[in-house]
Amino acid sequence: MAKEKKPQQVFTLVVQLGRRKGDGLPKDATGAGLICYASGVDEAEAVRETVAILKQAEMAPLDVTGHGTLDERLDAGDDIDAEERALMDRALAENAVIVAQMTPFYD
């Protein structure tokens, strides 16, 4: 009997980056924080895919915090504008990880 395939969802993830040679971060930054929208059948898959993509991009992910799906965020009272929704839609349509924002950290 075939397993029922779970639908893809988009998860909002906050990723903390350390430094790694060739990471593209500003020279004097000590790391960065990223807001990403990643598709997956569950949050664990979205996290795994995000970490794998960031490592391929020569980045050093240290920690990933999940903030839920669009519906979960709306239920929690988050205000999600049209631009953010468009990025989430793109992540779902392309089965991709979209980096929406990067904030370098400095000492």
pLDDT score recorded for residue 51? 97
Q: Judge whether 21 and 59 are in contact, CB under 8 Å.
A: no
pLDDT score recorded for residue 1? 64
Domain boundaries, the chain: 9-34+44-105
47-73 pLDDT tens trace = 999 999 999 999 999 999 999 999 999
pLDDT score recorded for residue 5? 79
Q: Would you call 1 exposed, middle or buried from its count of C-beta atoms within 10 A (0-12, 13-18, 19+)?
A: exposed
pLDDT score recorded for residue 56? 95
pLDDT score recorded for residue 2? 64
* Stretch 81-89: mean pLDDT: 96
Query: Maximum Cα–Cα distance for the chain, whole Å?
Result: 56
pLDDT score recorded for residue 66? 97
